[in-house]
Amino acid sequence: MIPYILAENPNMDSSEVFEMTKMLTQGVKLDIFVLQISFLPWYLLGIITCGLAIFYVTPYQEATLCEAYIFFRDKAIDEGYLAPIDDESEVEVEHVEPTIEDLH
């Protein structure tokens, strides 16, 4: 969960991130473990196919874990353990077209 928390909250220090991870995973650590173990047959298939299946399995696993984080985060917000993300605190990224001078 730590990479997902840091992606949403890059200004949090490590102790806050660990505390938030503990809070989000309280009571569901076994479920997360079973979710990760469920990918073991896919990785075994990757070994059998000389690593080709890994190109499909790894993004699928990361997307699944990301959705699990979103589910647990939203559940914590609904139950009042976390405050909703403030839209004003989100960082806006401005797209700047490179110029020829930037390339030199």
Would you say residue 96 has pLDDT above 60? no
Q: What is the rounded end-to-end Cα distance, in angstroms, of the chain?
A: 41
pLDDT tier at 100, thresholds 50, 70, 90: low
Asked if 66 contacts 2 with a C-beta cutoff of 8 angstroms, the reply is: no
pLDDT on residue 90: 47
Mean pLDDT of 4-20: 90
Domains in the chain: boundaries: 2-84
| Mean pLDDT for the chain overall | 84
Neighbours of 55 (CB within 10 A): 10
pLDDT in tens, 44-95: 998 999 888 888 899 999 999 999 999 999 998 888 888 876 654 444 445 5
Find how far residue 62's CA is from the centre of its chain. Answer: 7
- Using a pLDDT cut of 90, give the percent of the chain over it: 49
